[in-house]
Amino acid sequence: MGAISSIGKNVEENLDALMNERSGTGYPEFLKTIHTNDLPVCEIKMSNEELAALSGMKNALPRTTYLSAIAVEEAIADLKTKVNTKKDFDLMHSNYRIGFISGNTLGGMDRSEYFCEDYLHDKTEGHLRDVVHHECGSITELVAEHLGIHHFVTTISTACSSSANAIIHGSRLLKHDKLDIVIVGGADALCRFTLNGFNTLMILDPEPSKPFDENRKGLNLGEGAAYVILISEHVKKELQIETNLFVAGYANANDAFHQTASSAEGNGNFKAMGEALTLSGLKSTDIQYINAHGTGTANNDSSEGIAIQRLFGYNIPMVSSTKANTGHTLGACGALEAVYSCLSLEHKVVFPNLRHETSMSELSFTPIKKLLKNVALNNVMSNSFGFGGNCTSIIFSKEQAL
């Protein structure tokens, strides 16, 4: 696993912040915008140059590229520590079929913004190097080249479920024996385009967000990247990799209701969670904890909460949203929360839903407000929902000791 977000530049720092109820919310310092004192964001407090140095990549690339490379490199290093057969296992020079599937929603938009400042003035102006990485696929390609991954590389962009869908796609490629090892996740950096875009939708909270609170006012945007490495059963055996975590089920469904809003009954959410359960072969009572999408908008938290109630009935698992810590990291959030779900299973903890005060009137449940330790967790569900009615649910499980 690898992760970088406003609450930490690696997995360990993220875990520490979650355990200690730290949030990355504050006003933008590195993002050049007029909204420096009215729209709080969850920003990684490092300049592009510092991130470039940390990633070992050249300057003037899109910020998302650096975030992606940093998290992927951490995931690869983490895998190496779990290999028991060879001391100097080198993933990139092994004979395995290695894939890299990354989700993002904005490609190199931050650089395109700079380019257009000059270009819109005069079509012959603007540095072409600033627009050359505009495409979403370009970010994935830059990181794949930096790390030397060639076998299979692709990019998924389905708004806020992009990286959750990258996890699904990777799982399916392993299932179809098209790959042996696959690095899956996603990345998105803050930029003016999204901050202003979400602002026009009037779903940004002018204060730090309060997911699942009756008086929630909206989301805070965040930035980050996260990846997990999925391996096939035979690779696990051959390399004697120490892990007991696995993807037990997943599903993507469409709400088919509205381009940006969820249906009141959360039909797509309900279908995604239900089908993920079916694929896993688990019963609804087997899920102990849901790391919810929980953005803090009136619409999401209500329809997600109602869908959870519809599916789980009287046996609602523990629920919390970690977006009060990290903000909504868009294309990265599915993978970031997948990492958090795995950390929950690994450390037997349920992370608290920060700033929750009042329960929502339409929901029968209240999210977990204080850190819970030594919880018997075997199956954790992680939800990610996005524009275009895109709904994804993934179940992470722990093999039970015999």
Partner 1 sequence: MAIYIQGIGSVSPQRIDTGTKEIQFLQSDSNRLSCLEPDYKDLVPPMQLRRMSKVVRMGVASAKQALKDAGIETPHIITLGTAYGCLADTENFLEKLLTQEETMLTPTAFIQSTHNTVSGQIALLTNCQGHNFTFVHRGHSFETSLQETMMWLEEHKANEDFSVLTGGIDELTNHSFDIMSRFGTYKHDEEIGNSFTEGTIAGEGAHLFIAGNVQTANSYAKCLDVMLCADHDIEKQLKKFLKHNHIAAKDIDTCLVGLNGDSRYDETIVKNISSLSHAQLLGFKKWCGEFPTSNSFAFILACLILRNQQIPKELYLNPSGSNDKAPENVLIYNHYKNKYHSFILMQRL
Q: Which residues bind partner 1 (CB under 8 A)?
A: 33-35, 105, 112-113, 116-117, 119-120, 123-124, 128, 131-132, 135-138, 140-141, 150-159, 165, 169, 172-173, 176, 192-193, 196-197, 199-201, 251-260, 267-268, 271, 386-390
Q: How far is the CB of 390 from partner 1 (least distance, A)?
A: 6
- 């102006």: which residue's tokens? 125
Nearer to partner 1, 128 or 401 (CB): 128
Task: Pick the closest to residue 377 from 244, 260, 269, 262 (CA basis).
Answer: 244
Nearer to partner 1, 115 or 289 (CB): 115
3-state secondary structure of 12: helix
d(CA 384, CA 66): 23
Longest distance between any two alpha carbons in the chain, whole Å: 69
Nearer to partner 1, 365 or 387 (CB): 387
Nearer to partner 1, 268 or 305 (CB): 268
Nearer to partner 1, 145 or 362 (CB): 145
244, amino acid identity: N
Nearer to partner 1, 154 or 359 (CB): 154
- 């940006």: which residue's tokens? 260
d(CA 366, CA 135): 41
- 């990247």: which residue's tokens? 225
Nearer to partner 1, 165 or 353 (CB): 165
Residue 235 burial (CB count, 10 A):
18
d(CA 363, CA 319): 12
Q: Which residues contact 257 (CB under 8 A, 6 or more apart)?
A: 263, 267, 268, 389
Task: Pick the closest to residue 155 from 106, 105, 108, 103 (CA basis).
Answer: 103
d(CA 167, CA 170): 5
